[in-house]
Amino acid sequence: MLALLIYAYANGVFSSRRTERATYRDIGMRFVAANLHPDHDTIATFRRGNRVAIEAAFMHVLELARETGLVRLGTVSIDGTKIDANASKYRSIRYDRAKELREKLATDIATLMERAEAADATETDHQALPDELAAARF
């Protein structure tokens, strides 16, 4: 479930309902979900109940991606001056800058989680029973 959420958020899918639908339609989501199709309520409940752990895991995944060179974080501006050096300008980073990047990542991850929560709150379930029928006892 954690891998499914991280993959969905990385691909811009924040709604639990859309994530559920994507497990049927999107080959990547299907692969990550091991061809299982968790219900949107299960996805939302998992996200709400494990928010802190998901944020920590997401941070770890982003750090691993950066360390392995899969993604470069931040913007680097260079004035074009040619200087010989034996340190890689792409790999070295100051400690204070690394701390800033980590804080920004944490903020971005928290924003993603809130965006997912908002997507679930605003999306309507077109398959749900009307309130008067759902509350009726037969």
pLDDT digits (tens, 9 = 90+) for 67-102: 888 766 554 445 555 656 566 666 677 778 888 888
Which pLDDT band holds residue 63 (cuts at 50, 70, 90)? confident
How large is the average pLDDT for residues 53-59? 92
- Domain for residue 36, yes or no? yes
Q: Which domain holds residue 103?
A: 2-80+87-121
- Domain for residue 107, yes or no? yes
Q: Which residue has the higher pLDDT, 58 or 94?
A: 58
At 128, the amino acid letter reads A
Contact at 8 Å (CB) between 12 and 6? no
The percent of the chain in helix, strand and coil, each rounded to the nearest 5, is 60, 0, 40
- Domain for residue 126, yes or no? no
Residue 2 has pLDDT above 90, yes or no: yes
Q: Which residue has the higher pLDDT, 77 or 36?
A: 36
Total count of domains within the chain: 1
Mean pLDDT check: name the lowest of 38-52, 64-78, 117-131.
Answer: 64-78
Contact at 8 Å (CB) between 112 and 125? no
- Domain for residue 44, yes or no? yes
- Domain for residue 138, yes or no? no
% of the chain surpassing 90 pLDDT: 47
- Domain for residue 29, yes or no? yes
Contact at 8 Å (CB) between 94 and 25? no
How large is the average pLDDT for residues 3-16? 91
Residue 116 has pLDDT above 50, yes or no: yes
Cα–Cα dist 67/55, whole Å: 18
Cα–Cα dist 51/113, whole Å: 8
- Domain for residue 128, yes or no? no
Q: What is the pTM of this model?
A: 0.59
H helical segments located in 1-138: 2-10, 16-25, 27-32, 40-49, 51-67, 95-122, 131-135
